[in-house]
Chain A
Amino acid sequence: DAGVIQSPRHEVTEMGQEVTLRCKPISGHNSLFWYRQTMMRGLELLIYFNNNVPIDDSGMPEDRFSAKMPNASFSTLKIQPSEPRDSAVYFCASSLAGQNTEAFFGQGTRLTVV
């Protein structure tokens, strides 16, 4: 298996633009997580899907952030409009069954908003 695949690896965008990050989880995994990592705050869980349904989105910072999982093999995290403080590395991870099983992380998307 190729593991969790994220795209793009790097994204530079201007403030106010819409940004869409993409994730393909490991085949057969039914849980998907979006994380954000910054130097100031470390790793933070943004949202967690189980069987394509959002279970916990309490970590989503504000309405500018939205995540979807239309099927078991694809998820998106969208930021609109983007702001400089959204600059971070965004990780997608997947696991077999919820948060209590080992999660496998993608390589991350480094987002820079200028």
Chain B
Amino acid sequence: KNQVEQSPQSLIILEGKNCTLQCNYTVSPFSNLRWYKQDTGRGPVSLTIMTFSENTKSNGRYTATLDADTKQSSLHITASQLSDSASYICVVSEGSTLGRLYFGRGTQLTVWP
């Protein structure tokens, strides 16, 4: 069964600290993996998209890694800011004609001053 599991479910860190969010998936065949940031009351915004051949991709203070062999991805946030407080959602695209998407439940990150 195709699934996407994220951990932790929620996380609280102090401003300036680093953190890492995890995403494990069983989707097969695999096409790509995306990380979205969703602020409260807003729609999700794409942070990174990674294909099978990409191991790491950065977007400012956000760095995503992908291990297609173990079917794991992580999102590392460096020097966190208050504005990083949001839900981070991992989405995996199936490598089929439809390219169906499978969503994780998200990690709720709270950054405290």
> Residues of A at under 8 Å CB distance from B?
4, 42-45, 48, 55-56, 91, 93, 98-100, 102-108
Report the count of interface residues on B (CB-CB < 8 A).
Answer: 21
> Residues of B at under 8 Å CB distance from A?
31-32, 34, 41-46, 49, 89, 91, 93, 98-101, 103-106
Please measure, in the bound complex, the distance between the C-alpha atom of A99 and the C-alpha atom of B49, giving whole angstroms. Answer: 12
Q: Determine if B42 and A107 form an interchain contact, defined as CB atoms under 8 angstroms apart.
A: yes
Q: Determine if B32 and A105 form an interchain contact, defined as CB atoms under 8 angstroms apart.
A: no
Residues of chain B lying within 8 A (CB to CB) of residue A106 = 43
Residues of chain B lying within 8 A (CB to CB) of residue A4 = 43
Q: How many A-B residue pairs have CB under 8 A?
A: 47
Q: Which residue of A lies closest to B96 (CB)?
A: A99
Are A45 and B101 also in contact (CB < 8 A) when A99-B93, A100-B31 are?
Answer: yes
Within the complex, which residue of A44, A48, A56, A104 is in contact with B103, where a contact is CB–CB below 8 Å?
Answer: A44
